[in-house]
């Protein structure tokens, strides 16, 4: 017993003393294992879609061909659906966003010239300001052309380091390819992998410990699956409502903004507001007044979504009160950005559910023991 504690203390002291070396080792291990970790995450998400597809792939058939093809076809369709949706979102959003920037580059000087002329024409309201502006001869178009030329030259100077940029892109592509291949392997052999894990548990773990670990894994899997499913359904509903509402109110860029808000709505609670900022910017390039009306529309839609849709679709599925969702989003975003927000909510829901189950079990045991004492008395 003392030997175990001594070894643990020695390891902790070594970690503190050589923290920089340990951190460097962990960074190297993380970089090497990142494609495999990403593959496990991709496999987990694809497995949710794959199980739904398998339930609808000739469920009552006895054909050996259909049964043998079920797993491969469903894995392929899952990958096709996920990457197809990502490509569709990029295809809808990116061209419109580039066009909005080009429109903004042309329209901003015009707005400044109109503001300048209005101040000069209404000199009685702002006499000193009108006198100064009237004496100034500003070519707004030339000024903004210089600004955009400077920005463009800045980007081109950044692109001079093309080798590092291309290597980063190639590294990302290779990581995604390895992750996808690893995810396919996991999905094609998931029953065998599950059997191997159970065998290792039986060999190396005691039954009480194995039961506890499996309970935690089952609860976490249930919370994460419910969160991913509910968040995707909620994002689709919000995107459709936003698009339909914008079409009814005749806002510009309705399909693009609705798609973008639906995509950003995957981020809990704050995602739709991020999409609203981009949407307001897009609409501002056409009509500043309509952009203000759009923000009012989004605030109303967010109230509807936050009070009716989200609690029914996501909140009920993960069983986490709104205050803890907000805490999970805030802390997760502060620690890990957008990935931290996405992981923080189901992770908090898992801890919350485990604590609730443990409290319920302990309370029941205490009440049973009290009943037994009263029965003896």
- The pLDDT of residue 271 is 74
Between CA 122 and CA 109 the distance in angstroms is: 20
For 92, 173, 286, the CA distances from 250, given in Å and listed in that order, are: 19, 40, 12
- The pLDDT of residue 300 is 87
For 290, 308, 317, 327, 359, the CA distances from 313, given in Å and listed in that order, are: 31, 9, 6, 19, 26
CA 303, chain centre distance (Å): 21
Beta-carbon contacts of residue 233 (< 8 Å; ≥ 6 apart): 313
**Is residue 111 a contact partner of residue 284, using CB atoms and an 8 Å limit?**
no
Between CA 96 and CA 89 the distance in angstroms is: 11
- The pLDDT of residue 369 is 60
**Is residue 325 a contact partner of residue 230, using CB atoms and an 8 Å limit?**
no
- The pLDDT of residue 118 is 59
State both tokens at 99: 């066009």
Beta-carbon contacts of residue 200 (< 8 Å; ≥ 6 apart): none
**Is residue 33 a contact partner of residue 173, using CB atoms and an 8 Å limit?**
no
Which residue, 228, 304, 320, 241, is CA-closest to 267?
228
Beta-carbon contacts of residue 123 (< 8 Å; ≥ 6 apart): 130, 131, 134
pLDDT string in tens for the chain (377-residue length) = 566 667 767 767 766 777 677 777 777 888 888 888 888 888 998 998 888 888 887 777 777 777 778 888 888 999 898 888 888 877 777 776 666 666 665 656 556 566 656 555 655 555 555 455 444 555 555 655 666 565 555 445 544 554 555 666 677 778 888 888 999 999 988 888 888 888 888 888 888 888 888 888 888 888 888 888 888 888 888 888 888 988 998 888 888 888 888 888 877 767 777 788 888 887 877 777 888 888 889 888 877 776 776 666 665 556 677 677 778 777 887 777 777 777 888 888 888 888 888 888 888 776 656 555 555 55
- The pLDDT of residue 349 is 84
- pTM beyond cutoff 0.75: no
Between CA 50 and CA 73 the distance in angstroms is: 9
For 8, 89, 347, the CA distances from 342, given in Å and listed in that order, are: 34, 19, 9
- The pLDDT of residue 159 is 46
- Longest Cα–Cα distance in the chain: 100
């Amino acid at each position: 017993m003392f030997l175990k504690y001594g070894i643990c203390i020695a390891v902790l002291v070594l970690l503190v003393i050589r923290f920089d070396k340990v951190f460097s080792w962990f960074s190297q291990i993380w970089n090497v294992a990142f494609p495999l970790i990403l593959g496990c995450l991709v496999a987990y998400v694809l497995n949710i879609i794959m199980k739904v597809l398998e339930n609808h792939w000739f469920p009552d058939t006895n054909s050996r061909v259909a049964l043998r093809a079920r797993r491969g076809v469903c894995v392929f369709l899952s990958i096709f659906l996920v990457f197809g949706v990502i490509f569709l979102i990029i295809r809808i959003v990116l061209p419109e966003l580039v066009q909005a920037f080009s429109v903004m580059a042309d329209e901003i000087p015009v707005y400044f010239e109109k503001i300048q002329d209005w101040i000069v024409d209404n000199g009685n309201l702002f006499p000193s300001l009108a006198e100064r502006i009237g004496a100034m001869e500003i070519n707004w178009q030339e000024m903004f052309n210089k600004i955009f030329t400077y920005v463009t030259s800045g980007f081109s100077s950044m692109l001079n380091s093309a080798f590092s940029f291309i290597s980063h892109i190639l590294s990302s592509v290779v990581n995604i390819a390895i992750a996808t291949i690893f995810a396919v392997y996991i999905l094609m052999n998931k029953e065998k992998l599950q059997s191997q894990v159970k065998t290792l548990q039986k060999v190396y773990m005691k039954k009480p410990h194995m039961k506890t670990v499996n309970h935690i894994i089952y609860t976490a899997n249930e919370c994460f699956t419910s969160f991913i499913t509910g968040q995707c359904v909620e994002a689709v509903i919000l995107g459709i409502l936003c698009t339909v509402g914008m079409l009814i109110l005749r806002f510009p860029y309705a399909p693009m903004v609705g798609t973008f808000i639906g995509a950003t709505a995957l981020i809990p609670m704050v995602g739709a507001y991020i999409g609203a900022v981009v949407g307001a910017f897009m609409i501002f390039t056409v009509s500043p007044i309509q952009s203000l009306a759009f923000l009012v529309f989004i605030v109303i839609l967010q109230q509807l979504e936050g009070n009716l849709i989200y609690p029914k679709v996501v909140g009920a599925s993960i069983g986490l009160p709104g205050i803890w969702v907000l805490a999970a989003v805030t802390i997760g975003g502060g620690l890990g950005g957008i990935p931290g927000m996405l992981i923080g909510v189901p992770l908090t829901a898992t801890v919350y559910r485990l604590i609730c189950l443990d409290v319920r079990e302990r309370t029941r045991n205490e009440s049973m023991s009290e009943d037994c004492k009263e029965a003896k008395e």
